[in-house]
Structure 1
């Protein structure tokens, strides 16, 4: 089973979720993981951010289809504003989770990073270890539902892995 790397700073853990434009997959994962961490009592210890490797959507809200689905499922997507990944995250974030292999390659190209801190999001998925989270942008509603299903089960697994790393 995939384990999360140790924290860079005692008592605090930072997770960054990375996709292409930061309007569908990574913000969905951000909203769900943040919700799950809060419910598990880890919200004060684990900080979650999301970003895109591209800058096309910086400052925009989440894709309306992602936001509508999250709202229907009881989550609050309203705080999200797209941002681009920052190179300083490579040294200052405990775990950078990329939604697909291209995002991983893009992040690796930004500069040196500890390989154990760069992982695919689905490395933690109990049903799809090491696979990409498909981009639902060009598809229909079912693609967004599939992504949310993957994200929810992976977030549950991540919470357990993070609980063991932060020691609560």
Structure 2
């Protein structure tokens, strides 16, 4: 089974998300019970009941996916101080067709485009080829509709 790598903060977010989905599921189930009573105790031809059944199915599916993530999660407690190979919690300094770009490599689902450097998941196309690689590694990366040559030109720790 595939493992999913999380930062401590990212794992806390997924646990919070699970609680939020559980609450929404309980609410939908309660409302479904109320909707089934409306209209003379008949469930058929009852749009509210049918819509709540659909919502319940969606929330159950969402809860199942979150459960799989949690079951297969590996949480990075500490960031590696080894700056010879790119890892989660470090900053990747990249040359993208002659333009320097920096990305903080986060865990599964991490993303914040408003910071500098931008936070991206280790699965993001721009950094995924460089996880575990050393400075000088090069890859062809499909970005913004075209293939670009990207080189890992630096690895920095976060101070």
The TM tier, using the shorter chain, reads under 0.3
TM-score scaled by length of structure 1: 0.25
Structure with a larger share of its residues in helix? 1
Which one has a bigger Cα radius of gyration? Answer: 2
Structure with a larger share of its residues in strand? 2
TM-score scaled by length of structure 2: 0.26
